[in-house]
Amino acid sequence: MPHIPSRYGHFVFGVLQSGLTCAIAAAIANLPFVAEGTFIGHWLRSWAMSWLVMLPVVVLAAPIIRRAVERITRPER
C-alpha cells in the first residue's frame, strides 16, 4: 500500500472522518427503507451526496476548530 506524505495528513483525516460520519448519518436517516428492501440504494445516494458536501466543510473547518479548542482549553499539569 502506498503511503501518503504526512504533510497531507489533514486532508486524509478529513476524507476519513467525513466519510465515516456521513455513512453513519445516512444509515440512520434511511432506516425506514429497510422494510421496503430499498435501504442500500437510498443509503448509497444519501451517503454520496452528504459526503460531497461535508468533505470540504470538514477540511476547511478543522483548522479553525482546532485553534478554538486550543484557546478555550489549557494543558494539564
> HEC string of the chain?
CCCCCHHHHHHHHHHHHHHHHHHHHHHHHCHHHCCCCCHHHHHHHHHHHHHHHHHHHHHHHHHHHHHHHHHHCCCCC
pLDDT tens string, the chain, 77 residues long: the values are 788 899 988 888 889 999 999 999 999 999 999 999 999 999 999 999 999 999 999 889 988 988 999 999 988 88
22 with 47: CB under 8 angstroms? yes
What is the end-to-end Cα distance of the chain in Å, rounded? Answer: 40
- Which pLDDT does position 46 carry in this prediction? 95
